[in-house]
Every structure is written in C-alpha cells, then in structure tokens.
Amino acid sequence: MDVLERFLRYVSFDTQSSEESGTTPSTQKQKLLGQALADELRALGLADARMDRYGYVYAHLPATPGREGEPCLGLIAHMDTSPSASGEAVKPQVVRYEGGDLPLNRELGVVMELSRFPMLAKYTGQELVVTDGTTLLGADDKAGIAEIITTVGYLLAHPEREHGPIAIGFTPDEEIGEGADHFDLEAFGAAAAYTVDGGELGELNYENFNAAGAKITVHGLSVHPGSAKDTMKNAALIACQLVGMLPPAQVPEHTQGREGFYHLCDLAGDVTEAQLSVIIRDHDKEKFQARKDLVKNAVEFLNHQYGEGTVELELKDSYYNMREPLQEHMELVEKARAAMEKVGITPVEEPIRGGTDGARLTFMGLPCPNLSTGGFNFHGVHEAIPVEAMEKMVEVLLHLAAPEQK
C-alpha cells in the first residue's frame, strides 16, 4: 500500500476532537482509527504495536543488526482533526490541477479561488487531494500518519537499509492542545523525535506560539424590557463589550510572522447568560503574559462595573514556545535540513503560527522539532495536499531514520 492509498483510507475515519468533553480521548471515535493503525502496524511486523486506554498508539521498529546500540528516534503524528470543520463522511477527490480556480463542489458553488489561495499556482500540473467542499480533508495530520507508516513499511520490506531503533507514536486530541497529556515517554523510549505535523513541503519548525485559552461566562439579569431601567444586566451586550476591549487589529486575519493575536473562537448567549471562547497566542514570553493580563484586567473591570461575579474567567495555558529548550538540540534541525536537501527540498525555517505535540513533548524532556506533511489550508473545506509532497516526505523520513551509509 502506497502513501496515497493509506492517506485515503485514514481520512475515511471521523476523528474530530472536542474541547467540551473533559475525557481522554475527547471523542471515542478517535479510538476507531487508533485501533486500525495498531492493527496495521502489527500486520506489517511490529509485534508490540498497541493502543492504550487513552487512545495513544505506540509501536517500535527494532534496529537492524549492528545498530542496536544507537539512540532511539521517534516519529510522531496526531490522529484527531480540528473541531473547526466537520470531519464526518470526508469525500476526498484526487484531481490534476491545471491552473486557475479549482472547483471543489459545483453544485454548492464551493471553489478554491486562486486569488484567495495564491499558493495554488506552484502546484500547477500536480495531482492534489482535495475535499468535496463540505468537510475538511484531514491532511492535518493523517498525512503525517500515512507518511510515517509508509516509511516503516519500506524499511521492513528493505532490511538491507540499515537503521537504529525507531519508535512510532500517534496521539489523540492534539487539535485541542491535549495531545501530550497522557503521552507515555517511558514506553515510547525515544531519545529524540520529530512530529510530522507541518504544512507545505519543506517546512521545518523549531519555534512555535506560546498558547492559552480563555473560557468566559457572563451572568446577566433578565427582566421585562419595559421596566428594565437600572435593573437589567444584558449578558450578551456585556460579552460584546468585553470583545470590544481586545485590540481590534491583533487578530489572526491581520497578523503574520511572529505577531501574536487574540482569536474569538465562539460567542453565544442571550440576556441571561453568554459564553465566549478566546485563544491567546504570542511567540514572545513577556508579550504572551501581557496578553493574558489584558484579558484578566478586562474581566476585572467589567466585574467592577456590573458587580462581582458577573463575569467568570477560566484561563488555561496550552503549550509554550519550544525554541529555548531546542537550542540545546539543534543537531536535530541540522539532520532534518540535510535530509530535505538530500531529496531536493529547500527547507523553509519559519516559526509555527500554532503549536504541535512536539512543543509540549520538548518541555517534557523529549526534544521534538516539527516537519512538513505537504498539506495546506488546514482546518477547513479548502484543505488540500499534493500527492508528490507526501511521496517526498516519505523520502525525507527515510533519510532521517535510515541515512544511507557512505
């Protein structure tokens, strides 16, 4: 089975995670893919492949003779897809892109417009896997899974390709910032690892956002609007007031590079009660703290204005920038850079405007830079991935895990 066949099979599993469940995994359907992956790895020959009670999948490829004493290298990807768009009944299409706008669903009028997605131009003449315009695709991160397992399959089929011990790990709930919560470092057993969870081909990341999430509840007081003067507290309006206290230009659609942001993910409610969900991101540690303080101060101000307890804030850090701890392990970046260049890829070393399981694992003691999958436009109906990019990433992983001897 090649990397495309694997990818098309994996995206048929709905593995959308949920921020609301409070369980691990956050959705039990993630375990369906997890069990299928464990079964596939055992069928390939990895006898210890298993899924644990939290939905994590672990397996180990033993070293070839004479290489047993080398440090174990880990390869990691995540199984869940973003809550931002449906992952149910994904209908992938493999199309040859010939330039211009790319229709995804003519009946619904869903089009990937070149003017909005100019990166399309570089893929003219290539085969792309795209959606039917009704769901996300799941390249984030089922492409990473397909690339890792295809690499393992190649090494098992070619025992002459020497390599050290390799650990494979697939995690649930990365998209909600909980992918490393129950990762068993001891069972995994790697000295260092790579997540295969990046975007377009060539991405090599060792810096990411610091991240936090704010869940805010506003308690109002509803009375008849005809007699509401000096009595009513409109929770919906107070919620809007809070949003208005955040800097309007510091949002995802107006920021880039190392610029941080506030992102209003969800807003719902009425006069009696309203709920907001805001994520906070910044690469700089001090600016990150300042952003969190601004939200706390806004809540404090509103409670002073409308009465203590009117606004409740639950603020939780999700992950931190891995740049500082990875400074001690830049040989991992150098090896990844060399592996990409070996197969004709120019590395693109930019900070991630997001995070990975690798960021948290790095802080847990497992240094873990991030590699591209080849996909783009993640988390929505315009998500796509070139077939050639997946094939190239298998070559990159082979050079990382099993460098050809001179």
Least confident of 215-219, 260-264, 352-356: 352-356
Is residue 81 one of the residues assigned to a domain?
yes
Q: Let me know if 201 is exposed, middle or buried by CB neighbors in 10 A (0-12, 13-18, 19+).
A: buried
- 183 and 271, same domain (yes or no): no
What pLDDT band is residue 61 in, cutting at 50, 70 and 90? very high
d(CA 342, CA 200): 18
**Final residue of a domain: which of 258, 291, 319?**
319
Which of 140, 147, 174, 203 is labelled catalytic? 174
Give CA separation, 249 vs 256, 288, 293, 361, in Å: 12, 16, 18, 32
Say what the pLDDT of residue 44 is: 98
244 pLDDT above the threshold of 70: yes
Which of 14, 40, 80, 140 is labelled catalytic? 80
| Average confidence (pLDDT) over 359-385 | 97
CA dihedral 224, 229, 233, 234 (to 10 degrees): 70
* Average pLDDT along the chain: 96
297 pLDDT above the threshold of 80: yes
Say what the pLDDT of residue 183 is: 98
**Angle value at C-alpha 302, between 296 and 305, nearest 5 degrees:** 145
Is residue 269 one of the residues assigned to a domain?
yes
Number of domains within the chain: 2
Kindly give, in sequence order, each residue whose CB lies less than 8 Å from that of residue 65, ignoring residues fewer than 6 positions away. Answer: none
| Average confidence (pLDDT) over 340-356 | 94
Q: Over the stretch 178-224, which tens digit does the pLDDT of each residue have? A: 999 999 999 999 999 999 999 999 999 999 999 999 999 999 999 99
**Final residue of a domain: which of 303, 319, 335?**
319
Q: Over the stretch 20-48, which tens digit does the pLDDT of each residue have? A: 898 999 999 999 999 999 999 999 999 99
Proportion of the chain above pLDDT 70, given as a percent: 100
- 334 and 364, same domain (yes or no): yes
What pLDDT band is residue 404 in, cutting at 50, 70 and 90? confident
Beta carbons of 198 and 370 less than 8 angstroms apart: yes
Confirm whether 80 is a catalytic residue.
yes
Total residue count of the chain as it appears in this document: 406
d(CA 167, CA 152): 10
Q: Please give, one letter per residue, the 3-state secondary structure of 282-306.
A: ECCHHHHHHHHHHHHHHHHHHHHHH
| Average confidence (pLDDT) over 119-137 | 98
Beta carbons of 108 and 131 less than 8 angstroms apart: no
Three-state DSSP class for residue 376:
strand
405 pLDDT above the threshold of 80: no
Is residue 343 one of the residues assigned to a domain?
yes
Say what the pLDDT of residue 318 is: 87
pTM of the model: 0.89
406 pLDDT above the threshold of 80: no
Residue 186 has φ and ψ, to the nearest 5°, of: -65, -45
| Tokens 């299928």 sit on residue | 36
- 156 and 10, same domain (yes or no): yes
d(CA 7, CA 394): 13
